[in-house]
Amino acid sequence: MPSDQVELTKQVKAASDIVAVVGSYIPVTSAGKVFKAVCPFHDDTRPSLDVDPQRQRYKCWSCGAHGDVFSFTMHQEKVGFKEARALLAAKVGIKLDEPQTPQDYQRTRLLDVMRWAQAKYAYQYLEADAGEDARKYMGERKLSGKSVRDFGVGFAPITGDWLVKLAIAEGIPADVLVEVGLTATREGQRGHYDRFRDRVMFPIKDVRGQVVGFGGRIMPNNPLAARGPKYYNSAETPLFHKSELLYGLDLARHANAGYLAVVEGYTDVMMAHQCGVPQVVATMGTALNAKHVAQLRRYVPKVVLLYDADAGGYTGVDRALEMFISQDVELAVATLPEGLDPCDLLVRPNGIETFQKVLTSAVDALDFKLNRLLERDPKPSDTTKLRIVDDVLGIMAAAPLIPGAAAQMKRELIITRLLQRLGIRHEKEKVIWARFEELRKIYEQREREAQQKEREQKARENRPTVTVRPDAVMPTTERRRGEPKAGPAEAAENQLAQLLLADPGLVPVAAAQLTPEEITHTGLRRIVSELFAIHATGTVADLEALRVRLDDRPDLFDVAAHKLQFVGQQMQDREQWLARLLKRFAEMKADAEANRAKELLTNASDEETMELLRRIQQTQPKRSAG
Ligand SMILES: [Zn+2]
């Protein structure tokens, strides 16, 4: 901090009185040399908080909270130091004169326009005839006038240039309206038009309560209602970053529930607040991401994600699991009964109680996933168990490393719980950690490569780029196959070789679905792999081509020729035959996998376990980024 900033801080501190500051939030009573208050930082009824005017400090004898005017304001207002200082300075009338950059001026200008627009929309809703249908719509949803005013809800009339005309009349430059995303220019024409028309307008505020964007709900009887999206959000503007905002956080951060719940809709948030459940926010129609979590984490240690109970919610759960694993947060998941949304549920008889019960009974994302899995499949196969283990390890490995002991404890907790709930022997923990380290190295390597690529790309294009972490993309390990073993497989292998020798046209079909390593018989494996290799060079994989490739093994060539001569020529319906054979190979592979999984959970060595975990990866569906 530059010295004038230090000086300023001293001035603000000297001008602020701790008793007055604390007293502006909670009742304080004189008790001799100190003042007493009920501590706002823990749940109490007795006056545990001492406020000492002599030392200008406070201390709670119960929870240990202590500090000066700045720390009290920071905790009470849940803001950073600079904001706390600004608040105190305003109270004592000190002008801070924070250095204003051109960006600051620009931002202030845009925020002013948003505030202006919000007032205009609100007037249309509350006072104008045009807002009647909007009032009816919100009334049908049982949202009270108080809620509407608290959230600043408005209405954008259907006229295409209502806002534009108002702005012109009041001397607001049209380009500012374009910049905040409220109007747009007609392509190839002059003039502007309103982007929000015939919509209920929900102001979207930043954490300080400043309007930075709008969500517009189209009126149900508008002809476009059936076609377009029901909700239309502000486009990205210098103020509005959809992926970082949480609707209602400006109000919900003051709730004292110990957690914040994330729902899906604006009206859900409003209704929850109206029903006395203020710890509720909503994303802007995007999945909860790390930025959201970081914001919520400033106010609470725990986030509860509320999903619709329908099938669509399940992909969201995997995403939540990633957040739970990768972020320093307790992330719990809950679903509402009967596929209701919070707004519908809350207005039902006992709806509030049910809603609160759902929130408090949320379980963390890992348990939620395991519960759902074990519900559908109470006795998962060993292969399934290992898949889940490696899935979770993959997410852990891809997550940015949260430094510190807490993060390591969290990883340990996850692995222990995973083993417990899936009934995997505790001794396997060591090898699971080794696999985790291995996956992490793969990700680190990938990330280095991605960064390198990005640098190269940036250098080529010579423009700034945003650094994007490679998301949880599962690594593809090298293809490895099981140990050769003799047995019933050999009959199928024999037939395959015959078939391919009889009809070289089938070689590409087989090569696309099978690797030679899947063939256990060494001689047959060599023949098939040579046929594949010949095909790969672009030549027909016939007996003549094979002769050259088997120069070192004339005996094998004789076997091949023999097969062709005696059996292969008689085969009918070759394509169908091949399809049946390939299916058998696939089944045998799955069986082998399952057997190996079973061995792992009984008596495999750690090395074998590791190998199996690696191989399990190949059968994982690739996760998509984002
Ligand atoms: Zn306390």
Taking only the tens place, the pLDDT of each residue in 184-203 is: 887 766 788 899 999 999 99
Q: What is the pLDDT of residues 485-496, one digit of tens each?
A: 335 577 788 888
Mark the ranges of the chain whose per-residue pLDDT is less than 70.
1-3, 97-100, 188-189, 309-315, 400-406, 462-488, 564-572, 596-604, 615-626
Compute the distance from residue 487 Cα to the ligand 1 centre, in Å: 73
String of b and e for 435-463 (b: at least 16 CB within 10 Å)? bbebbbebbeeeeeeeeeeeeeeeeeeee
Q: How many angstroms does the Cα of residue 56 sit away from the middle of ligand 1?
A: 17
Percentage helix, strand, coil, to 5, in the chain? 55, 10, 35
Alpha helices in 16-97 (DSSP H): 18-23, 69-77, 81-92
Strands (E), 32-128: 34-37, 49-52, 57-60, 66-67
At what angle are helices 162-169 and 102-126 packed, to 10 degrees? 120
d(CA 463, CA 306): 40
Q: Compute, in angstroms, the gap from residue 7 CA to the centroid of ligand 1.
A: 31
**68 CA from centroid of ligand 1 (Å):** 14
The CA distance from 211 to 208, in Å, is 9
Q: Which two tokens stand for residue 294?
A: 């970081």
Distance from the CA of 28 to the center of ligand 1, in angstroms?
14
How many distinct helices (H) and strands (E) make up the chain? Answer: 26, 17
> Residue 144: what residue type?
S
Q: How far is the CA of 229 from the centre of ligand 1 (A)?
A: 48
**19 Cα to the center of ligand 1, angstroms:** 16
590 to 181, 520, 596, 617, 619: CA distances (angstroms): 55, 15, 10, 13, 10
What's the pLDDT score for residue 100?
Answer: 64
From the CA of 41, how far away is ligand 1's center (Å)? 5
CA 304 to centroid of ligand 1, rounded, Å: 25
pLDDT of 357 reads 95
Against a cut of 0.85, is the pTM above it? no
Cα torsion 584, 585, 591, 593 to 10°: value is: -160
> Which are the contacts of 514, defined by CB distance < 8 A and separation ≥ 6?
582, 585
Six-digit token string for 615: 């191989």
For 245-266, write each residue's pLDDT tens digit.
999 999 998 888 889 999 988 9
Report CA(47)–ligand 1 centroid distance (Å): 9
Q: What is the pLDDT of residue 182?
A: 94
CA geometry: angle 315, 319, 321, nearest 5 deg: 115
Q: Are 292 and 246 in contact (CB under 8 A)?
A: yes
**Amino acid (1-letter code) at residue 337:** P
**What's the 199 CA to ligand 1 centre distance in angstroms?**
46
Q: Tell me how far the alpha carbon of residue 497 lies from the centroid of ligand 1, in angstroms.
A: 79
How far is it, in rounded angstroms, from Cα 238 to Cα 236? 7
Residue 483, helix vs strand vs coil: coil
Q: 261 C-alpha vs ligand 1 centroid, how far in Å?
A: 24
Asked whether the beta carbons of 617 and 474 are under 8 A apart, the reply is yes
Q: How far is the CA of 35 from the centre of ligand 1 (A)?
A: 14
Report phi then psi at 335, rounded to 5: -125, 150
**Ligand 1 centroid, distance to 302 Cα (angstroms):** 20
Q: How far is CA 279 from the centre of its chain?
A: 20
Ligand 1 center to residue 51 CA distance, Å? 12
Please tell me the distance between residue 402's alpha carbon and the centre of ligand 1 in angstroms. 29
pLDDT of residue 567: 53
What spacing in Å lies between the alpha carbon of 64 and ligand 1's midpoint?
6
Distance from the CA of 364 to the center of ligand 1, in angstroms?
28
Contact between residue 179 and residue 117 where contact means Cβ atoms under 8 Å apart: no
Distance 46 CA to ligand 1 centre (A): 10
Q: Which of 333, 313, 314, 311 is nearest to 323 (CA)?
A: 333
Distance 147 CA to ligand 1 centre (A): 32
The Å distance, Cα 37 to ligand 1 centre, comes to 10
Question: Facing residues of 232 across strands?
Answer: 216
Q: What is the 20 CA–ligand 1 centroid distance (Å)?
A: 18
Residue 65 Cα to ligand 1 middle (Å): 6
CA of 43 to the centre of ligand 1 (A): 7
Centre of ligand 1 to C-alpha 60, Å, is 5
Predicted local distance difference test score (pLDDT) of residue 32? 84
pLDDT at 551: 76
Kindly give the distance from the C-alpha atom of residue 325 to the centroid of ligand 1, in angstroms, as a whole number: 31
CA–centroid distance, residue 409 to ligand 1 (Å)? 27
Can you tell me whether residue 296 is helix, strand or coil? helix
Per-residue pLDDT at 482: 37
Evaluate whether 524 touches 562 at the Cβ level (below 8 Å). no
For residue 259, report the distance from its CA to the centre of ligand 1, in Å.
18
Report the separation in Å between the CA atom of 59 and the middle of ligand 1, taken as the mean of its atom positions: 8
